């Protein structure tokens, strides 16, 4: 059982969270960007922070021919280029890299898996060869093949209570492209493993502020009592990207922003913001409440989709003084494409706490800057006491949870301007992780890999969460049908989206809150 009382280690804290049992992490797709940019840097920082098990191994599995040493050199270069410190200590790297090895093989070749089993057996420590984390940093179309091969070679077994060893499968999104494909994928994943052995990653759930949402909501009485329809007017969730699709045009033509971002990241954040308090901090109790919330989101008919959901697609413009192509001019994109690069929607949660409170979600590419935030807009006070006063700049109170890049929380309230006259203006109280704790915020993959090794599924997505989210998205796609984008759904790169997204809020006399750039 994972000890929830422990905390993650940060500089200055000696009793940090640690994955204790010896284990081997096998990374399928060891030659890919995810491995060099995120996974190995995360494991390296966990190691130098003393959070890895005393005994561990990392095996990279890929088709390209490489030696252990050449792969290690590639991984060190990746840490120096992409990690949060970009600084590698020679002695620390030497001791860490001794645990890295490379295994050449084709994902569809049974012989390669047999050889992998033989290599694991040579590690000596029985736990290193039996406690296994299989990280599938590969195309979802190959998930089933890898799981089948692992089972055939007796590397993956269905978990039994009291077993002396364990195996876990970590998979990256996308989890299908609609409900039907997600169900087929999930069925295949649990053919040879139990649901509790499958860890579906959404890296947003590893971010410090996302995890802090529950702590903030349920440990602070002043906010917990206000977290309902009586005090809150509406909630906005914004995830903006300041880049276009780049070289991923072919992938994006198949997926689009609704599937790529809304189905997972934004709905996951919304579930944490709006769910009921769980009876405990156990993983299943938390995930049960998230599923209940997702199932409470009002179902959309095609008519509701036309009123409550907006698509968008960027055309040529400028982002941070950098000229950008329009989406239809990007590489491997249909010049008449109707794929959305922006989505905004209004959702309602049909339960007692949130009845008639709108949740506005938006995400898009080539927006002015990169930011992720949750904006909680409280109801305004009655306009009675100050109604006769002139020059008052009164605003409703608002709470902003900044998820990236400048993680923290701010509260807006009204204050009197010093002087003899009655003038007001909104002021803010700001909390920033760096300023308050004087420590780094761990990368999401550090947290997620640590949890996978520890067997804590709290920050991972359960099967019914995935499938419920797809039901919401599928109903929206059905409402869109083959209707082409309208003129009001196009937006210039470097702006905050199409005018149709502003219209979505104007109907309710609301405005989008513009995220503030980092350090501003």
Active-site residues, by number, are 265
**Is there a contact between 129 and 119 (Cβ–Cβ < 8 Å)?**
no
The backbone region for 18, taken as left when phi is positive above 0, alpha when psi lies in -120 to 50, beta otherwise, is beta
CA dihedral 274, 279, 280, 284 (to 10 degrees): -70
CA distance 185 to 178: 11
Which three-class secondary structure state does DSSP give residue 194? coil
Closest CA to 369 of 300, 432, 318: 318
CA distance 404 to 407: 5
CA distance 367 to 320: 10
Work out whether strand 317-319 and strand 167-172 pair parallel, antiparallel, or are unpaired: unpaired
CA distance 359 to 361: 6
Sequence-distant (6+) residues with CB within 8 A of 83 are 41, 44, 45, 443
Residue 97, CB-side half-sphere exposure with 13 Å CA sphere: 18
**Is there a contact between 133 and 42 (Cβ–Cβ < 8 Å)?**
no
**Is there a contact between 408 and 371 (Cβ–Cβ < 8 Å)?**
no
Q: Which residues of 373-392 are buried (b: 16+ CB within 10 A; e: fewer)?
A: bbbbbbeeeeeeeeeeeeee
CA distance 411 to 469: 30
Residue with tokens 């007796």: 154
Q: How distant is the alpha carbon of residue 310 from its chain centre?
A: 22
Closest CA to 5 of 202, 14, 15, 316: 15
**Is there a contact between 477 and 304 (Cβ–Cβ < 8 Å)?**
no
> DSSP string covering 408-432, please?
EEEEEEEEEPSSSS--EEEEEEEEE
């Amino acid at each position: 059982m994972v000890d929830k009382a422990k905390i993650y280690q940060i500089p200055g804290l000696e009793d940090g969270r640690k994955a204790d049992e010896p284990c081997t992490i096998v990374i399928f797709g060891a030659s890919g960007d995810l491995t060099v940019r995120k996974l190995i840097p995360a494991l390296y920082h966990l190691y130098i922070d003393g959070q890895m098990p005393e005994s561990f191994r990392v095996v990279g599995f890929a088709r390209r021919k490489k030696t252990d040493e050449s792969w290690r050199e590639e991984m060190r270069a990746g840490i120096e280029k992409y990690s949060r410190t970009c600084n590698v200590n020679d002695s620390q790297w030497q001791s860490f890299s001794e645990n890295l090895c490379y295994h050449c093989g084709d994902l569809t070749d049974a012989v390669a898996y047999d050889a992998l089993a033989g290599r694991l057996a040579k590690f000596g420590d029985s736990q290193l060869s039996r406690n296994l984390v299989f990280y599938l940093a590969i195309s979802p179309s190959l998930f089933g093949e890898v799981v089948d091969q692992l089972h055939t070679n007796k590397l993956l077994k269905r978990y039994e209570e009291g077993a002396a060893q364990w195996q876990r499968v970590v998979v990256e999104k996308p989890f299908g492209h609609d409900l039907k494909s997600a169900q087929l994928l999930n069925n295949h994943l649990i053919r040879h493993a139990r649901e509790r052995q499958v860890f579906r990653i959404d890296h947003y759930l590893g971010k410090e502020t996302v995890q802090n949402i529950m702590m903030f909501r349920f440990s602070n009485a002043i906010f917990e009592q206000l977290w309902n329809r009586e005090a809150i007017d509406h909630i906005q969730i914004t995830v903006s990207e300041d880049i276009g699709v780049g070289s991923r045009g072919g992938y994006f033509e198949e997926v689009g922003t609704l599937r790529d971002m809304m189905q997972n990241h934004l709905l996951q954040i919304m579930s944490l913001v709006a769910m009921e308090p769980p009876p405990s901090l156990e993983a299943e109790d938390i995930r049960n409440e998230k599923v209940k919330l997702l199932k409470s989101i009002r179902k959309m008919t095609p008519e509701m989709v036309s009123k409550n959901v907006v698509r968008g697609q960027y055309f040529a413009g400028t982002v941070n003084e950098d000229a950008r192509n329009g989406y239809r001019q990007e590489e491997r994109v249909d010049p008449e494409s109707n794929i959305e690069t922006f989505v905004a929607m209004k959702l309602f949660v049909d339960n007692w706490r949130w009845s008639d409170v709108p949740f506005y979600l938006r995400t898009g590419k080539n927006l002015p800057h990169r930011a992720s935030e949750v904006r909680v807009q409280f109801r305004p006070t009655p306009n009675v006491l100050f109604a006769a006063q002139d020059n008052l700049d009164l605003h409703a109170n608002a709470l902003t949870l900044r998820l990236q890049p400048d993680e923290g929380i701010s509260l807006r309230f009204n204050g009197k301007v010093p002087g003899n006259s009655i003038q007001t203006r909104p002021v803010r109280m700001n909390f920033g992780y760096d300023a308050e704790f004087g420590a780094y915020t761990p990368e999401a993959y550090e947290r997620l890999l640590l949890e996978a090794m520890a067997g804590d599924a709290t920050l991972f997505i359960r099967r019914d969460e995935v499938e419920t989210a797809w039901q919401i998205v599928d109903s929206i796609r059905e409402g869109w049908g083959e209707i082409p984008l309208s003129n009001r759904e196009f937006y210039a790169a470097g702006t905050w989206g199409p005018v149709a997204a502003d219209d979505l809020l104007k109907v309710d006399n609301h405005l989008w809150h513009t995220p503030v750039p980092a350090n501003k």
